[in-house]
Amino acid sequence: MTPTTPAFPTRIAHFDLDSFFVAVERARNPELRGKPVLVGFAGPRGVVSTASYEARVFGCRSAQPMAVALRLCPHAIVVEPDHEAYVAVSRQFHELLRGVTPVVEPAGIDEAYADLTGLGLEADAPRAAAERLRARVREELGITVSVCIAGSKTTAKVGSDRAKPDGLIEVPPGGDAAFLAPLPIRDLPFVGPKFGDALAQAGVRTIGQAAALDPKWLASHFGAAGESLTERARGIDHAPVRGDGREQKQISRETTFMEDLTDLVEIRRVLHRLTERVGSDLRSHGRRARTVTLKLRWTDFTTLSRSRTLERPAQATPPILEAARALLDEAIRTEGLRPVRLIGVGVTNLVEDAMQLGLADLAGADGTPSVLRDERLDHVIDDLRSRFGDRSVTRGT
């Protein structure tokens, strides 16, 4: 008799680092533990990036104006964000997770999906693997991670929010619908404020109530969003965990100034810095870009966006910066130099990291085409920054 391969139930986990930016700051400065902490910039335009659980008790939350948060919690400690440190810890977290299972799909700097199906013959193997990962994150990174293991990405995402802070929820195989049923409809991914309000007006306030509705009725009232709602409300989500990650469609960096900027030299300096970060992101993703886009927002919140297609896909900083500067010059020439509230640079139409050299690529004194020399220099700069900090070295202006 031929032995059969055991059919393992689908076990998908969503790992979510708890109050991530605050957690990293506390790992670096233990004196912040147990105190209300707000990560973000102070000042009239400052916004809260992350609020500690102690601050949330007072009504503070992410994306809230810092001035409002400090009125709610005057004794909160404000810490300026250190994106470089957060990215470094995020990379360590994702590496630890890939040590548990190779099928990992990053979903952001502080979260990821993982397929734990068939990690062992024992029924509790997925949970044991998740607990080992949680212990390593706590011991090696000094932060905590919450997780939900379920039969679909939708349920796992909802459950990890319920597991916070520093918890683990396991929904038994076949139990996704029952787990979701009593929860508020707004807990379901892709149910935003408008959709949620419309459902509430129709008497749908829980996920279970949505699951019980006729899909045709939902489709007729809410279109495509309603059509897919009943399946997701039952925890039915056929989307797999993509171990190779989602295809990157664009890379961008932008910054909002505390005070509107009118100094063209300073505007160019900021544009240079943002472009360097975009180039570094491109290289770390192993991609090249065909199109460069400049974004400007004036003091009256009018937003201008202009794009330029490169002669060939690039990942080195110089050609991207050259295009961004040209777009800035064009905007100032046509619109005038107005007070700038926000500036950003992005790249789109991304392609694989491959390049064909042409006859026009004249070699330098060392026999290396100038375009390759730029890229090699950028990789050296990237390496130095990863070792010694983002401000350790920069290209001259």
* Active-site annotation, residues: 111
CA nearest neighbour of 108 among 120, 123, 128, 91: 91
- Rounded CA gap, 175 and 291, in Å? 46
The H or E element spanning position 194 is helix 193-201
| φ/ψ bin of 142: left (φ > 0), alpha (ψ from -120 to 50), beta (otherwise) | left
Reading the block at residue 269, the tokens are: 């300096």
- Rounded CA gap, 204 and 181, in Å? 12
The number of residues in the chain equals 397
The dihedral built from the CA positions of residue 141, 146, 152 and 154, taken in this order, carries a sign that is negative
Phi and psi angles of residue 203, each rounded to the nearest 5 degrees, phi first: 90, 10
The H or E element spanning position 39 is strand 37-40
